[in-house]
Structure 1
């Protein structure tokens, strides 16, 4: 059973918004990021864990532009029976090629991105997910790139 969305306080919103703009590349990146936010390093790490564990964020880590590095990526969608959603999500997310995965209120209710070193590996990963789940994976290769900023407001 899915958890209800967490309640975010002003500090949680500040963290989510600030860290989308970049993360320091330094010997102590969490300490540096925390200082910019007026927090201690341990407090920032604990809050990130709470945000992840509570479902406000699905992961915390770098986003690599696979195409810019010579790789490939593809937006994918699946129609997953509601009763199987969590189990299917776990199977999909177990594949290292899955960059992120979101639930949508639509017949195609699971959307995720595959990122691989080659275009051929996209097809192999999608086929592996189909074999693991018994469900079809629709592939939507990128035709044009858009950047949509995301901000959490009060």
Structure 2
């Protein structure tokens, strides 16, 4: 069950998250609750899979290097391989696609050498080759959405 605080956090802090030494206190002050209330609500939202992370969205290759990678994985092994890939801190996200190359993921690393080392490690650990897909055009899709707080 989403509380009013949950709904406010989901609606109001998809963008423009405070950049300060105490962002959760800033949010608490704006909403008239305690910092502990905000932290607890975000923990609950994460635990119930309403959110997966709190962090910046940085355009590709502005800090470090990134790559879109695709793999062809047998259906019966897809979840196990995806779980192994997701365990790497450099992997931003991965997802299934309806294609011969059915597992896609994004890797972010400090430099090209580190990126290659992570991809090599994933290939060794999963026993499947990875195909790097270079970025030809940069597109930004805003995944934010406005919640109807009366019906959410």
Residue 63 (structure 2) pairs with residue 78 (structure 1): no
Q: Which of 118, 129, 138 lines up with 1:136 in the alignment?
A: 129
TM-score by length of 2: 0.73
Q: Do the aligned residues in 2 keep the contact of 1:17 with 1:150 (CA within 8 Å)? A: no
Residue 29 (structure 2) pairs with residue 28 (structure 1): no
The structural deviation recorded for 1:116 is 1.4
* Aligned 1:9-24 pairs, distance under 5 A: 12=6, 14-24=8-18
Equivalence for 1:148: 141
**d(CA) in 1 for partners of 2:9, 2:46:** 12
Q: Which of 93, 96, 103 lines up with 1:104 in the alignment?
A: 96
Which moves more between the two structures, 126-135 or 60-69?
60-69
Alpha-carbon RMSD: 2.8
Total equivalences in the alignment: 146
* Aligned 1:109-124 pairs, distance under 5 A: 109-124=102-117
Q: Do the aligned residues in 2 keep the contact of 1:15 with 1:37 (CA within 8 Å)? A: no
Q: Which runs of 5+ in 1 are unaligned?
A: 1-6
TM-score by length of 1: 0.73
Larger radius of gyration: 2
**d(CA) in 2 for partners of 1:103, 1:10:** 31
* Aligned 1:32-71 pairs, distance under 5 A: 32-65=26-59, 67-69=61-63, 71=64
Distance 1:102 1:8, change over 3 A: farther
Q: Which runs of 5+ in 2 are unaligned?
A: none
Q: Do the aligned residues in 1 keep the contact of 2:5 with 2:41 (CA within 8 Å)? A: no
Output one character per residue of 1:58-93: Cα deviation in whole Å (capped at 9) or x when no partner: 222234446223x21111233444443443233212
The structural deviation recorded for 1:15 is 2.3
**d(CA) in 2 for partners of 1:103, 1:8:** 27
Distance 1:91 1:148, change over 3 A: same
